[in-house]
Chain A
Amino acid sequence: MTAPAVAGPRETPVANALFEFLLRLGDDRLVLGHRDSEWCGHGPILEEDIATANIALDLVGQASALLRLAGEVEGKDRDEDALAYFREAVEFRNALLVELPRGDFGFTIMRQFLFDAYSVLVWDALQHAKHEGLAGIAAKALKEDKYHLRHSSEWVLRLGDGTEESHARVQRSLDELWRFTGELFEQDGVDAAVVSSGIVLDMGAVRSRWMEMVSDVLQRATLVVPEGVPMATGGRKGRHTEHLGHMLAEMQIVARSYPGAKW
């Protein structure tokens, strides 16, 4: 009988890494989708109210597909609803950027723009993943997010190069949001581990293309990109701002009050 192998530093099993990876993608979209949905009935004009609600629905739809896949990968009988409504804030893996309160319309649009540009690049890379389920989600989401980016870019141009007040408001939003952008491009052991599942995401390349796209629009909008800002981090590890807990309380209350309810 051979002696049991001495346990070395344990590698994260691939299934769990893939689960984590899918949670990060799914939670970003679930949380941002919910933040966007808070505009429903409060949009600046009827058309924009509908547009923002459409974007929210697209994002929640993407989250639903991603969390369903995450639940299958995890293999613990949790479906997308269980993952969305019955996890605590510390179990969420979204970036801090998407959980910040919606602020004014300029803030919402600027956040959406920064995220859309990132999301389009991520889906563009992931549509070629060797993981069939994820590649399928990516291809569909890419089309949706390209439209979101077109929409948010137009607004950034309009507000930035608009009136004195609209310019001041979106510039202030950009200044507040910038320190939350670094986290989007972080990579760790999870990203390294999912390569064996056929998922390769070169965040260095995504980051430089993102910077080009974003700078181009911001410059045309006469906005100034903040420099030398220390970046916030923590969301991918479950360390969130206080805002996420409050948001989840509202988002989860119906599902938790009436478990298994159908409508």
Chain B
Amino acid sequence: MTDTNATTTGATPDSQGPLWEVFTQAEQGAPHEHAGSVHAMDAEQALQNARDVYSRRGEAISLWVVPTSAIVASAPGDAGPFFDPGNDKAYRHPQFYKVPRGVRGL
């Protein structure tokens, strides 16, 4: 965002450091869930910034930070081929199959 602005508005380029994605764990055994992102120059600073921005009011007992550049994401254009096909084939879903009478504990 800032980079594009810099070229169009003549503002100084972004000097906030690279982006890091932040994952917080709310309680023992729970999964680390994506909370947002922070700017930081390195891993230690990313961890500290994540702590200050996303965990200060007791939201987390553990934090992960990952360089945003390390994340491989599907492109919006992939949505069709990646995610569509499942839904028109009812037999892909367990509800398609009738449960025989008498089966318990399924």
User: Residues on A close to B: CB < 8 A?
Assistant: 45-48, 50-51, 54, 147, 150-151, 154, 158
Contact = CB atoms under 8 A, between A and B. Distances in A.
B41 A45 contact: no
B41 A158 contact: yes
Nearest to B46: A47
Please classify the interface of chain A as helix (H, G, I), strand (E, B), loop, or mixed, using the class held by over half of its residues.
helix
26 contacts: A45-B17, A45-B39, A46-B16, A46-B39, A47-B16, A47-B38, A47-B39, A47-B49, A47-B52, A47-B53, A48-B49, A50-B52, A50-B53, A51-B48, A51-B49, A51-B52, A54-B52, A54-B56, A147-B51, A150-B48, A151-B48, A154-B44, A154-B45, A154-B48, A158-B41, A158-B45
Contacts of A147: 51
Nearest to B49: A47
Nearest to A48: B49
A50 to B, nearest CB: 5
Contacts of A48: 49
B63 interface: no
A18 to B, nearest CB: 33
A150 B52 CA distance: 13
Contacts of B45: 154, 158
A223 B76 CA distance: 50
Nearest to A52: B52
A47 B55 CA distance: 13
Contacts of B17: 45
Q: How large is the interface on B (under 10, 10 to 19, 20 to 34, 35 or more residues)?
A: 10 to 19
B53 to A, nearest CB: 6
Nearest to B44: A154
A159 to B, nearest CB: 11
Interface in B29-71: 38-41, 44-45, 48-49, 51-53, 56
Contacts of B51: 147
Q: Specify which of A47, A50, A147 lies most central, judged by the most chain B CB atoms within 10 Å of its CB.
A: A47
Nearest to A45: B16
Contacts of A50: 52-53
A150 B53 CA distance: 16
B82 to A, nearest CB: 33
Given A45-B16, A151-B48, 17 more contacts: A45-B17, A46-B16, A46-B39, A47-B16, A47-B38, A47-B39, A47-B49, A47-B52, A50-B52, A50-B53, A51-B49, A54-B52, A54-B56, A150-B48, A154-B45, A154-B48, A158-B41
Contacts of B52: 47, 50-51, 54
Contacts of B41: 158
Contacts of B44: 154
Contacts of B16: 45-47
